[in-house]
Structure 1
Amino acid sequence: MNSVLQFLSETVQTIFVFFCTIILVKFAAKVIQFYLKSDNRNNLIAEFCSYLRLERSLSSNTISAYKSDLEKFMQFCADSISETFKPESAGSDLISAFLSSQMDLGLTKRSQARLISSLRSFFKYLEMEGRIEKDPTELIDPPKIRQYLPTVLSVKEIEDIINSVDLSSDEGHRNKAIVEVLYSCGLRVSELTGLRISDLFFNESFIRVTGKGSKQRLVPIGAPAIEAVNLYMQKRRALSIKKGCEDILFLNRRGGKLSREMIFILVRKQASAAGVTKDISPHTFRHSFATHLVENGADLRVVQEMLGHESILTTEIYTHVNSERWREGILRAHPRG
């Protein structure tokens, strides 16, 4: 009797171990499958980011934004459908559901538009690589965003700001050169702080600008800006320049590279000194540069090239600024405007 009970006990134990082993194997297989799929998704995002960096020359900040948007989308799909979800199988309904979920979280229209742009670029990349037959974002329209026209300075206001610089101060010639170059060349503040002496080709009246995604372009520079920079360069020689900053054009009083924040402070200080009440930033000079060119008949494609815009649609806002200023001028002049 004892031997029978022992046999039954051993049999039950064997069966129990057998079923536990099967359960563990299945669980392990699912875990492995999950990580493989997760790795595949991460690899796909990494490949896409490499494409953006190497072939489209986008900046690291833009690529990080794309990556963040795609990771949100992948996580939504994994939570909503399956951990084994493949991005290649996504349809427009799934993408719309994801966008709706983000809207429910209070995403602004501008952020929604950026999210759609990220997904559209990603799926166009998959289509280009032959991984999908049709881009599922084609039928998805971005939200309509109210277009806010940028603040623009008049020519007189710019002249007042330039003339308000105190040239007797230690940084006077530098500050005047900065304002002159901002307006003469329409630079972004990051492009201005990155300017090097080796980028100056004054004999040809050009400077070399390194823009977003490390793309370089040649931009004409006017005689007043050249004169201001040359006068500043004479003062610059007296600075004790920090190692690694020898070729940097605009330096702070300690001989180091000027920060973006310092340019903002400088511009607002000079605007205040000139009696300009508009809320401005260094970018206002870029807007003014482009608007004044368009007002004086410059070709929009040329302005696009000088600004370093990837798409002419970005440059077209300055035609709207010009139209708005024209409309306001007509209304001011009309007896019943």
Structure 2
Amino acid sequence: MEVIDFAREQLLSDLAELEQSRKDGGFNEDRLKLKLAGILSNYEIKRDTNQVFDSDIQEKVNVYLAAKRIEGLSEVTLKGYKYELDMFDKAISKKVADITSNDIRMYLSRFDNLTLSTIASKVWKLKSFFGWLHVEEIITRNPTVKVKAPKQERLLVKTLSIEEFETMREVCETLRQRTLIECMYSTACRLSELQQLNIKDINFREMSAVVYGKGRKEREVFFSVKSMYYLSKYLKSRNDDCEALFVTYRKPYRRVSNRSIQDEVHKIASLGNLNHTVTPHWFRRTMATRMLESGAHLSAVQNILGHDSPETTQYYINVTEEFKREQHKKYLPL
């Protein structure tokens, strides 16, 4: 099996080199066929039969997901992993110990119509699964080690301009709408973090709250004076006994859902005639960008956002052209 895997790896390298030569040299079709025939002459090629294997992937997936649930991964994340691994199980019906790098590449090649970021996401889910199996000594080798995620172009993240945010503030029709966007901006909470907050979680004296992020990691977030003003006003306007920080408009009053918050943000953006869709996550990125533009240390913003590494925070922000121009003038020596 190792000899076959090595041959497959070598053939892939030869074909990749041929493709690069074709691009550089401009081979015509006849020349390409000759060179390809020369490469294939070094290999004994047999058509793979549709052999039926006894797959134990689903069994291992269930154990893997149970372990990740104990580690604190959210149900949304676990659902995404299960969906991907179920697709993989249907496509590659083998025992996990027999799965090779080539099997994984063949599986990923089916999705060449998807964006690079989507394919990269598939790669990382498979790497997580097989990496866990290897660490737990369920398999002796990790077939994803040689599989690399496609390189992606770094696109500018989407943030609200100062004018857009002020417009959204002005067009809010309800107290809950204004309170929501002020809290999302000042705390930089993820949608799920904000949705799960209870009134008792708010430390009004310190203008802060403790939230639980990815992996149930605990961190403190902070409210601005403006957000605290609207939050206090909103809570005083309520006449329910629901523990949730944000509740539905109608009885029976209950915790507002993630989807309702998203719809509320979309509605506010529509009222302001913004020419693009706005999601709750935009407020988180906008807050991080504004803090860095105002001189905050990267490490401080990283901790406020709950990121594990500064690289994530740097990728996350969108420094404006005006800010870069100002920094160039301010710090470039004469």
Q: What TM-score do the two structures reach when normalised by structure 1?
A: 0.71
Task: State the distance in 1 between where 2:274 and 2:92 align.
Answer: 52
1:248, CA displacement in angstroms?
Answer: 0.8
- Mapped partners of 1:323, 1:96: distance in 2: 39
Question: Larger deviation: 271-280 or 297-306?
Answer: 271-280
Conserved in 1, the CA contact under 8 Å of 2:101 and 2:147? yes
- Offset, 1:118: 1.2
Within the candidate set 108, 122, 125, 1:99 is matched to 108
Shift, 1:120, TM fit: 0.7
- Tell me the alpha carbon deviations over residues 202-228 of structure 1, each in whole angstroms, 9 at most, x when there is no partner: 212211223345443211111111111
Equivalent-residue separation in structure 1 for 2:276 and 2:91 (angstroms): 44
1:134/1:196 CA distance change after superposition, 3 Å:
same
SS at the partner of 1:139? coil
Please say if residues 96 and 140 of structure 1, whose CA atoms lie closer than 8 Å, have aligned partners that are also in contact. yes
Alignment of 1:11-30 (within 5 A): none
> Contact (CA 8 Å) 1:195, 1:248: kept in 2 or not?
yes
| Distance in 1 (alpha carbons) for counterparts of 2:310 and 2:95 | 35
Q: Match of 1:86?
A: 95
User: How many equivalent pairs are there?
Assistant: 275
The separation in 2 between residues aligned to 1:302 and 1:232, in whole angstroms, is: 29
Selected match of 1:150 from 157, 178, 196 = 157
Tell me the equivalent position of 1:45. Answer: 61
Q: Which has the larger radius of gyration?
A: 1
Whole-Å Cα distance in 2 between the matches of residues 311 and 74 of structure 1? 33
> Which region of structure 1 is more displaced relative to structure 2, 210-219 or 189-198?
210-219
Closer/same/farther in 2, CA of residues 220 and 76 from structure 1, 3 Å limit = same
DSSP-derived class of the 1:203 partner: coil
Q: Distance in 2 between matches of 1:281 and 1:216?
A: 24
State the AA in 2 paired with 1:100.
S
User: Identity rate of aligned residues, in percent?
Assistant: 31
Say yes or no: does 1:252 pair with 2:248.
yes
Matches within 5 A, 1:279-294: 279-294=277-292
Alpha-carbon distance between aligned partners in 2 of 1:130 and 1:328, rounded to the nearest angstrom = 53
1:318-329 map, 5 Å: 318-319=316-317, 321-322=318-319, 326=323
Question: 2: distance between equivalents of 1:66 and 1:311?
Answer: 23
CA shift in 2, pair 1:330/1:109, >3 Å = same
SS in 2 for 1:253: coil
Deviation at 1:236, TM superposition (A): 0.9
The CA deviation at 1:329 is: 7.6
Q: Which amino acid aligns with 1:266?
A: E
Q: Structure 1 residues 199 and 89 mapped into 2: Cα distance closer, same or farther (>3 Å)?
A: same
Query: Which of 196, 199, 202 is the aligned partner of 2:201?
Result: 199
Q: Distance in 2 between matches of 1:160 and 1:68?
A: 39
SS at match of 1:306: helix
8 Å CA contact 2:293–2:323 kept in 1: the answer is no
Q: Are the equivalent residues in 2 in contact too, given 1:251–1:258 (CA < 8 A)?
A: yes
Counterpart secondary structure, 2:80: helix
Once the two structures are superposed, residues 47-84 of structure 1 have per-residue CA deviations (whole angstroms, 9 ceiling, x without a partner) of 111122112x2222222222232233333332xxxxxx
| Alpha carbons 1:294, 1:318 under 8 Å: kept | no
Are 2:134 and 1:124 equivalent residues in the alignment? no
Quote the offset at 1:275 in angstroms: 5.6
Equivalent residue number for residue 92 of structure 2: 77
Partner of residue 299, structure 1: 297
Contact 1:196 1:249 in 2 (8 A): yes
**Contact 1:74–1:87 (CA under 8 A) maintained in structure 2:** no
Matched position secondary structure for 2:303: helix
**Structure 2: segments with no counterpart, 5+ residues:** 1-51, 329-334
Cα distance, 1:101 vs structure 2:
3.4
What SS does structure 2 have at the residue aligned with 1:179? helix
Judging changes above 3 Å, is the alpha-carbon distance between structure 1 residues 112 and 277 closer, same or farther for their aligned structure 2 residues?
closer
Match of 2:168 among 161, 173, 179: 161
Contact 2:189/2:221 (8 A) holds in 1: no
What displacement does 1:143 show? 1.4
- Could you tell me which residue of structure 2 aligns to residue 234 of structure 1? 236
CA distance in 2, matches of 1:223, 1:300: 23
Q: Which amino acid aligns with 1:211?
A: G
**2:78 is matched with which residue?**
63
Which residue is equivalent to 1:217? 219
Structure 1 residues 44 and 267: CA distance shift in structure 2, 3 A? closer
Task: Find the aligned partners of 2:137 and 2:320 in 1 and give their Cα distance.
Answer: 44
Once residues 265 and 92 of structure 1 are traced to their aligned partners in structure 2, the CA distance between those partners, rounded to angstroms, is 43
